[in-house]
Chains A and B, each alone.
Chain A
Amino acid sequence: QKEVEQDPGPLSVPEGAIVSLNCTYSNSAFQYFMWYRQYSRKGPELLMYTYSSGNKEDGRFTAQVDKSSKYISLFIRDSQPSDSATYLCAMSVIKAAGNKLTFGGGTRVLVKP
Protein backbone atom coordinates (compact mmCIF):
# COMPACT_ATOMS: atom_id res chain seq x y z
CA GLN A 1 0.00 0.00 0.00
CA LYS A 2 1.28 3.43 -0.95
CA GLU A 3 1.81 6.00 1.76
CA VAL A 4 -0.35 8.51 -0.11
CA GLU A 5 -3.29 7.47 -2.28
CA GLN A 6 -4.86 9.70 -4.88
CA ASP A 7 -7.44 8.82 -7.52
CA PRO A 8 -5.78 9.24 -10.92
CA GLY A 9 -8.99 10.33 -12.65
CA PRO A 10 -9.52 11.74 -15.16
CA LEU A 11 -12.11 13.93 -13.49
CA SER A 12 -14.23 15.74 -16.04
CA VAL A 13 -16.47 18.64 -14.99
CA PRO A 14 -18.36 21.39 -16.81
CA GLU A 15 -17.09 24.94 -16.57
CA GLY A 16 -18.33 26.67 -13.43
CA ALA A 17 -18.67 23.46 -11.42
CA ILE A 18 -16.85 22.71 -8.19
CA VAL A 19 -13.87 20.40 -8.54
CA SER A 20 -13.35 18.14 -5.55
CA LEU A 21 -10.00 16.39 -5.11
CA ASN A 22 -8.74 14.30 -2.25
CA CYS A 23 -5.88 12.24 -0.92
CA THR A 24 -5.68 9.70 1.84
CA TYR A 25 -2.53 8.83 3.70
CA SER A 26 -1.40 6.14 6.08
CA ASN A 27 1.47 7.81 7.96
CA SER A 28 0.04 9.69 10.93
CA ALA A 29 3.36 11.53 11.27
CA PHE A 30 2.60 13.72 8.26
CA GLN A 31 2.09 17.25 9.51
CA TYR A 32 2.50 19.51 6.49
CA PHE A 33 0.31 19.28 3.42
CA MET A 34 0.56 20.86 -0.01
CA TRP A 35 -1.41 20.88 -3.23
CA TYR A 36 0.30 21.43 -6.55
CA ARG A 37 -1.03 22.03 -10.03
CA GLN A 38 0.95 20.71 -12.95
CA TYR A 39 0.30 21.57 -16.56
CA SER A 40 1.58 19.26 -19.23
CA ARG A 41 5.36 19.52 -19.67
CA LYS A 42 5.72 22.04 -16.85
CA GLY A 43 6.98 21.85 -13.29
CA PRO A 44 4.43 21.66 -10.45
CA GLU A 45 3.12 24.97 -9.14
CA LEU A 46 2.30 25.32 -5.45
CA LEU A 47 -1.38 26.13 -4.89
CA MET A 48 -2.01 25.62 -1.20
CA TYR A 49 -0.03 24.82 1.91
CA THR A 50 -1.57 23.84 5.24
CA TYR A 51 -0.30 22.37 8.47
CA SER A 52 -3.32 22.16 10.70
CA SER A 53 -6.65 20.40 10.56
CA GLY A 54 -9.49 22.47 9.21
CA ASN A 55 -10.05 24.63 6.17
CA LYS A 56 -7.84 27.16 4.43
CA GLU A 57 -9.18 29.35 1.66
CA ASP A 58 -7.34 31.26 -1.03
CA GLY A 59 -9.44 32.75 -3.79
CA ARG A 60 -11.26 29.96 -5.58
CA PHE A 61 -9.27 27.29 -3.76
CA THR A 62 -10.09 25.69 -0.42
CA ALA A 63 -7.83 23.14 1.21
CA GLN A 64 -9.20 20.90 3.91
CA VAL A 65 -7.24 18.69 6.29
CA ASP A 66 -8.67 16.02 8.56
CA LYS A 67 -5.77 14.50 10.44
CA SER A 68 -8.00 12.18 12.45
CA SER A 69 -9.19 10.54 9.24
CA LYS A 70 -5.86 11.00 7.43
CA TYR A 71 -7.65 12.71 4.60
CA ILE A 72 -7.02 15.95 2.75
CA SER A 73 -9.09 17.69 0.11
CA LEU A 74 -8.83 20.50 -2.38
CA PHE A 75 -11.91 22.26 -3.73
CA ILE A 76 -11.87 24.52 -6.76
CA ARG A 77 -14.91 26.77 -7.08
CA ASP A 78 -16.15 28.25 -10.33
CA SER A 79 -13.84 26.02 -12.31
CA GLN A 80 -12.40 27.33 -15.58
CA PRO A 81 -10.98 25.51 -18.61
CA SER A 82 -7.60 26.89 -17.53
CA ASP A 83 -7.90 24.74 -14.40
CA SER A 84 -7.50 21.66 -16.58
CA ALA A 85 -4.30 20.11 -15.29
CA THR A 86 -2.98 17.38 -13.04
CA TYR A 87 -3.28 18.07 -9.33
CA LEU A 88 -0.78 16.53 -6.94
CA CYS A 89 -1.03 16.33 -3.19
CA ALA A 90 2.19 16.24 -1.20
CA MET A 91 3.01 15.96 2.45
CA SER A 92 5.95 15.86 4.81
CA VAL A 93 6.66 14.90 8.37
CA ILE A 94 8.71 17.89 9.39
CA LYS A 95 9.42 21.38 8.11
CA ALA A 96 13.14 20.94 7.73
CA ALA A 97 14.35 21.90 4.29
CA GLY A 98 16.12 18.60 3.86
CA ASN A 99 13.02 16.55 4.53
CA LYS A 100 11.61 15.14 1.32
CA LEU A 101 7.99 15.30 0.29
CA THR A 102 5.79 12.29 -0.33
CA PHE A 103 3.51 12.73 -3.31
CA GLY A 104 0.22 11.26 -4.36
CA GLY A 105 0.00 9.92 -7.89
CA GLY A 106 -1.90 12.97 -9.16
CA THR A 107 -5.45 13.47 -10.42
CA ARG A 108 -6.01 14.64 -13.95
CA VAL A 109 -8.77 17.23 -14.18
CA LEU A 110 -10.54 18.35 -17.33
CA VAL A 111 -12.85 21.35 -17.21
CA LYS A 112 -15.03 21.45 -20.29
CA PRO A 113 -16.25 24.81 -21.65
Chain B
Amino acid sequence: GAVVSQHPSWVICKSGTSVKIECRSLDFQATTMFWYRQFPKQSLMLMATSNEGSKATYEQGVEKDKFLINHASLTLSTLTVTSAHPEDSSFYICSARDGWTGSAEAFFGQGTRLTVV
Protein backbone atom coordinates (compact mmCIF):
# COMPACT_ATOMS: atom_id res chain seq x y z
CA GLY B 1 0.00 0.00 0.00
CA ALA B 2 0.86 3.65 -0.23
CA VAL B 3 3.18 5.16 2.36
CA VAL B 4 2.52 8.22 4.47
CA SER B 5 5.39 9.47 6.58
CA GLN B 6 4.83 11.66 9.61
CA HIS B 7 7.53 13.49 11.52
CA PRO B 8 8.40 13.81 14.35
CA SER B 9 7.07 10.69 16.01
CA TRP B 10 7.19 12.38 19.38
CA VAL B 11 7.94 15.84 20.67
CA ILE B 12 8.07 17.58 24.02
CA CYS B 13 7.73 21.33 24.11
CA LYS B 14 7.35 24.07 26.65
CA SER B 15 4.04 25.76 27.21
CA GLY B 16 3.65 28.78 24.97
CA THR B 17 5.88 27.56 22.17
CA SER B 18 4.80 26.32 18.75
CA VAL B 19 5.31 22.87 17.27
CA LYS B 20 5.21 21.86 13.61
CA ILE B 21 4.28 18.35 12.49
CA GLU B 22 4.95 17.21 8.92
CA CYS B 23 3.00 14.70 6.89
CA ARG B 24 4.38 13.43 3.58
CA SER B 25 2.95 11.07 1.00
CA LEU B 26 6.03 9.21 -0.22
CA ASP B 27 4.86 7.34 -3.30
CA PHE B 28 1.71 9.10 -4.38
CA GLN B 29 0.29 12.56 -4.72
CA ALA B 30 -2.26 13.66 -2.18
CA THR B 31 -4.45 16.62 -3.10
CA THR B 32 -6.16 16.15 0.24
CA MET B 33 -4.79 15.13 3.60
CA PHE B 34 -6.60 14.75 6.89
CA TRP B 35 -5.45 15.62 10.38
CA TYR B 36 -6.76 13.72 13.39
CA ARG B 37 -6.35 13.93 17.12
CA GLN B 38 -6.64 10.88 19.31
CA PHE B 39 -7.00 10.73 23.08
CA PRO B 40 -6.02 7.59 25.01
CA LYS B 41 -8.35 4.67 24.36
CA GLN B 42 -10.54 6.73 22.08
CA SER B 43 -11.11 6.73 18.36
CA LEU B 44 -9.80 9.24 15.86
CA MET B 45 -11.27 12.72 15.95
CA LEU B 46 -11.05 14.55 12.65
CA MET B 47 -9.65 18.04 13.14
CA ALA B 48 -9.36 19.36 9.61
CA THR B 49 -9.12 18.55 5.95
CA SER B 50 -6.02 19.92 4.28
CA ASN B 51 -6.34 20.91 0.63
CA GLU B 52 -3.31 21.48 -1.59
CA GLY B 53 -3.05 25.10 -2.60
CA SER B 54 -6.05 26.30 -0.66
CA LYS B 55 -7.28 26.83 2.87
CA ALA B 56 -7.94 23.93 5.16
CA THR B 57 -11.45 23.02 6.21
CA TYR B 58 -11.77 22.75 9.97
CA GLU B 59 -14.25 20.64 11.89
CA GLN B 60 -16.62 22.32 14.27
CA GLY B 61 -14.97 23.23 17.54
CA VAL B 62 -11.40 23.17 16.22
CA GLU B 63 -9.60 26.50 16.55
CA LYS B 64 -8.11 27.35 13.18
CA ASP B 65 -5.81 29.98 14.67
CA LYS B 66 -4.39 27.47 17.09
CA PHE B 67 -3.96 24.59 14.67
CA LEU B 68 -2.45 26.05 11.53
CA ILE B 69 -2.47 23.82 8.48
CA ASN B 70 -0.45 24.37 5.36
CA HIS B 71 -0.59 22.12 2.30
CA ALA B 72 1.97 23.69 0.04
CA SER B 73 2.59 20.75 -2.29
CA LEU B 74 0.95 17.53 -3.44
CA THR B 75 3.11 15.52 -1.07
CA LEU B 76 3.40 17.64 2.05
CA SER B 77 1.00 18.99 4.64
CA THR B 78 2.03 20.53 7.94
CA LEU B 79 0.15 21.07 11.18
CA THR B 80 1.48 23.75 13.53
CA VAL B 81 0.20 23.83 17.07
CA THR B 82 0.65 27.45 18.08
CA SER B 83 1.14 28.67 21.64
CA ALA B 84 0.84 25.13 22.89
CA HIS B 85 -0.63 24.41 26.31
CA PRO B 86 -0.70 21.20 28.35
CA GLU B 87 -4.27 20.50 27.21
CA ASP B 88 -2.94 20.27 23.63
CA SER B 89 -0.93 17.21 24.63
CA SER B 90 -2.27 14.40 22.50
CA PHE B 91 -1.58 11.98 19.66
CA TYR B 92 -1.86 13.64 16.26
CA ILE B 93 -2.20 11.56 13.10
CA CYS B 94 -2.40 12.48 9.44
CA SER B 95 -3.84 10.47 6.58
CA ALA B 96 -4.08 10.75 2.83
CA ARG B 97 -5.83 9.14 -0.08
CA ASP B 98 -4.34 8.76 -3.55
CA GLY B 99 -6.22 11.26 -5.63
CA TRP B 100 -4.81 10.03 -8.95
CA THR B 101 -5.85 6.40 -8.74
CA GLY B 102 -9.20 7.31 -7.27
CA SER B 103 -8.79 4.61 -4.68
CA ALA B 104 -10.98 4.92 -1.62
CA GLU B 105 -8.43 3.61 0.87
CA ALA B 106 -6.86 6.08 3.27
CA PHE B 107 -3.32 5.58 4.52
CA PHE B 108 -2.06 6.90 7.80
CA GLY B 109 1.17 8.31 9.11
CA GLN B 110 2.83 6.87 12.18
CA GLY B 111 1.41 9.57 14.43
CA THR B 112 3.06 12.24 16.57
CA ARG B 113 2.85 12.19 20.33
CA LEU B 114 2.92 15.76 21.58
CA THR B 115 3.61 16.49 25.21
CA VAL B 116 3.41 20.09 26.37
CA VAL B 117 5.08 20.79 29.71
Chain A positions within 8 Å of B, measured between CB atoms, are 32, 34, 36, 41-46, 49, 51, 88, 90, 92, 94-98, 100-101, 103-106, 108
Contact A104 B43 (CB under 8 A): yes
Which one of B49, B97, B108 lies within 8 Å of A45 (CB-CB)? B108
Subset of 14 A-B contacts with CB under 8 Å: A34-B104, A41-B91, A41-B111, A46-B1, A46-B107, A92-B104, A94-B104, A97-B31, A98-B99, A100-B49, A101-B106, A105-B42, A106-B42, A108-B41
Contact A98 B103 (CB under 8 A): no
> Which of chain A's residues have a CB closer than 8 A to the CB of B31?
97-98
Which one of B6, B30, B41 lies within 8 Å of A43 (CB-CB)? B6
Contact B49 A43 (CB under 8 A): no
Contact B30 A103 (CB under 8 A): no
Is B46 in the interface zone, CB < 8 Å from A?
yes
Complex Cα spacing A41 to B91, Å: 8
| Minimal Cβ-Cβ distance residue in A for B98 | A97
B23 to chain A, nearest CB (A): 10
Contact B110 A98 (CB under 8 A): no
B36 to chain A, nearest CB (A): 9
Contact A95 B93 (CB under 8 A): no
Within 8 A of A (CB), among B86-117: 91, 93, 95-99, 102-111, 113
From known contacts A49-B104, A49-B105, infer whether A88 and B91 are also in contact, taking CB-CB under 8 Å: no
B18 to chain A, nearest CB (A): 23
Contact A98 B32 (CB under 8 A): yes
| Minimal Cβ-Cβ distance residue in B for A4 | B43
| Minimal Cβ-Cβ distance residue in B for A90 | B106
Within 8 A of A (CB), among B39-55: 41-44, 46, 49, 51
> Which of chain A's residues have a CB closer than 8 A to the CB of B67?
none
